[in-house]
Amino acid sequence: MSNFRETSADVGQSANREVLVDKDKFLNAKPLTRELLAKAKSSALKKVAQSIDYFADKYPEPAALNGVYQKIGNIEWTSGFWSGQLWLAYQLSGEQQFLDAALAQLSGYKHRIEQKIEVDHHDHGFLYLLSCVAAHKVVGNELGREAAILSADCLYARYIETGKIIQAWGNLNDPAEAGRMIIDCNLNLPILYWATEQTGDAKYREAANNHIRQALKYLIRDNASTFHTYFIDTLTGEGKYGATHQGHADDSCWARGQAWGISGFPFVYRYYPVPALIEQACRVTNYFLNRLPDDLVCYWDLDFTQGDEPRDSSAAAIAVCGMLELTKHMPLLDPDRAVYEAAAKAIMASLIENYSCDSTEQGTGLLKHAVYHKPKNIGVDDYCTWGDYFYMEALVRLEQIWEPYW
């Protein structure tokens, strides 16, 4: 295993935190009450139960159109977010209907990975952690374990030794995508760590360790904002340049990318406990918190802090889960720990009150006003599957001591 004392300096990063400008905004925010949380939980469970009938053996498209998810087969990078909602609903309620629906999906995941259906990308964590690893963790399901190990193998095959990264997209021979790493991948790495735990083969963990070190080094800018994507020279292993894919501009900070950073670094820290991951997660979190509008739900790109641009509620929900994980790994006396806890609760209160879809409302999702891909005008100001999932995950994290699927 690599050196366990790696700090920010060891990975070529500044450890100076971006100053958190207005801590009182979070510490004095309207509290998230038990009543509000209980109402949100009951409403979310009703909606997920309604969706079991609606989706039956299908899955939601990544994002809804006019408040309604179209139904598709298990072919997108996002199927796991629906499966994950079923597992979370089961853990929140103990109701058999959620367990039955989640278990019924597993053979489809096994088929998908065996037949290599739309799996030539890095999104194996999103797909298989929230479905098959969840099934193994929650009820010891063996089929889930087998499918998830195949998925980890498929992800491991994307590891490029020279660049020490997992390539995000495209065939590995595609020159346009060669050596591209993206911040979203932080959340796919846990399946590699899980595979090492399950098989005893250290290769998965070594690849993940190397990738996250490259992510720390190249995806976080000096000012603690993040690049969405970054190209590594696959011959020399040197960094080349950053570029956006879903953000406003190459030099802007895509809000969901920042949220993948807030969550992904602490999620990986669970398996690779080096201080740099927490130090950098704090910097990235501060940058995010410094750019929130009055209702605490970010715009789709953090270049925007006011005006009519769409919000991305999904980024807010991801950040809530990230901060709740991050605070678990911070020293009790760290002055920002209480601020992050307060910020997570305050953002969640705003999501529940202003962005969630009540079970009495029309619509097949849980969290309104997300953005999938603004530059391409896909899924703008609508539900998205990961927004729904992380909203549920935040409810679970605030309700019980929970062993993450990540």
Residues catalogued as catalytic: 123, 184
Question: Which 371-390 residues touch ligand GLY, going by CB under 6 A?
Answer: 372
Q: In whole angstroms, how close is the CB of 241 to ligand GLY at the nearest point?
A: 20
Size of the site for ligand GLY (CB under 6 A): 4
Cα distances (angstroms) measured from residue 93 to each of 97, 141, 395: 10, 19, 12
Whose structure tokens read 């053996």? 57
Q: Does 121 bind ligand GLY (CB under 6 A)?
A: no
Of 263, 165, 157, 262, nearest to 213 by C-alpha is 165
Question: Which 230-249 residues touch ligand GLY, going by CB under 6 A?
Answer: 246
User: What is residue 342's three-state secondary structure?
Assistant: helix
Q: Strands 378-382, 370-373: parallel, antiparallel or unpaired by DSSP?
A: antiparallel
Q: Give 37 or 319: the residue with its C-beta nearer to ligand GLY.
A: 319
Of 239, 227, 230, 402, nearest to 328 by C-alpha is 402
- CA–CA separation, 275 and 266 (whole Å): 10
Q: Give 40 or 284: the residue with its C-beta nearer to ligand GLY.
A: 284
Q: Does 6 bind ligand GLY (CB under 6 A)?
A: no
Q: In whole angstroms, how close is the CB of 183 to ligand GLY at the nearest point?
A: 9
Q: Does 312 bind ligand GLY (CB under 6 A)?
A: no
Beta strands (DSSP E) in 96-179 are 159-160, 165-166
Q: Give 372 or 389: the residue with its C-beta nearer to ligand GLY.
A: 372
Q: In whole angstroms, how close is the CB of 30 to ligand GLY at the nearest point?
A: 29
Residue of minimal CB distance from ligand GLY? 184
Q: Give 98 or 304: the residue with its C-beta nearer to ligand GLY.
A: 304
Q: Does 184 bind ligand GLY (CB under 6 A)?
A: yes
Q: In whole angstroms, how close is the CB of 236 to ligand GLY at the nearest point?
A: 28
Q: What's the one-letter identity of residue 342?
A: A
Q: Give 8 or 214: the residue with its C-beta nearer to ligand GLY.
A: 214
Of 260, 259, 178, 239, nearest to 11 by C-alpha is 239
- CA–CA separation, 101 and 321 (whole Å): 25
Q: In whole angstroms, how close is the CB of 246 to ligand GLY at the nearest point?
A: 6
64 token code pair: 């809804």
Q: Does 256 bind ligand GLY (CB under 6 A)?
A: yes
Of 215, 256, 248, nearest to 232 by C-alpha is 215
Residues that bind ligand GLY (CB under 6 A): 184, 246, 256, 372
